[in-house]
Structure formats: C-alpha cells, structure tokens
Amino acid sequence: MYPEDIKYSKDHTWVRVADDEGTIGITDYAQEALGDIVYVDVPEEDDQVEAAEEIAEVESTKATSSVISPVGGTVIEVNEDIEDSPDTINSDPYGDGWIVRVKLSDPSDLKNLLSAADYQKFVEEESE
C-alpha cells in the first residue's frame, strides 16, 4: 500500500533518499484526507528547512494544511509542475506529486522516521 523505498513521518509526509538528497511529499493518506488540492505554496531554492518544521502549505477544497518536513536541509529543487497542476499530488503523491528536493543537513533525521509497515500501522491506529 505504501512504497517500501520511502521513510514516513507521523505528520503524513514522506522522504525518498538517494545519496545525500531527499525528495519530499505528502502521503496518499494525507492527500485523500485533504481532498482536491487546488494550490501549493512552496519554499524557494536555497531555503534552509528544519526537520519537524513547515516546509510548504497545501490548500484543498476542504482546508489549508501545513506540510511538515521529515528532514532538515537546503532546498535544491522545487516541483514547479505542482504549482501549475497541484492536483498532481492527488493523482500521484509518491511520483510526480513530490513537493521539494533537499540536500540533507543531518542524515540522522532519518532515524526518527517510520518504515512503510510502521506508517501503515500508525495510520490504521489513527483511523480507529
């Protein structure tokens, strides 16, 4: 149900790490809870982000929600496609719907995140 090559936060964000870079987005669970996403406010390239702090804001037909970064680092790329087509997050949250890429400042941030199985268990418990 949740991709195995990703680490998850209890804030319903994910990070896929390759070398010292992480791609960040919101989980399928989060996009489903939000409903149709109509706008995404993203950071600028070179912005510094901290783990467990807001990295972006997502606006849907239901609510506006903060996107909490699962890791700290420097923004190296922003997904400009979601600025034009924010609904891509709804249709492909783990692929083309990513939000930003960061150069990790502290790889130990990953130790605080959940595996796919642990995240699925967390979501099931939260849904009860």
For the segment 27-42, what is each residue's pLDDT rounded down to a tens digit?
Answer: 999 999 999 999 999 9
DSSP 66-104: EEEPSS-EEEEEE-HHHHH-TTHHHH-TTTTT--EEEEE
- Per-residue pLDDT averaged across 48-66, rounded? 96
The DSSP call for residue 110 is G
Given a cut of 90, whether residue 120 has pLDDT beyond it is yes
Which pLDDT band holds residue 128 (cuts at 50, 70, 90)?
Answer: confident
Architecture in CATH for domain 7-105? Beta Barrel (2.40)
- Alpha-carbon span 113 to 68, nearest angstrom: 13
For the segment 85-102, what is each residue's pLDDT rounded down to a tens digit?
Answer: 999 999 999 999 999 999
Domain range list for the chain: 7-105
pTM value is: 0.96
Contact present, 7 and 14 (Cβ < 8 Å): yes
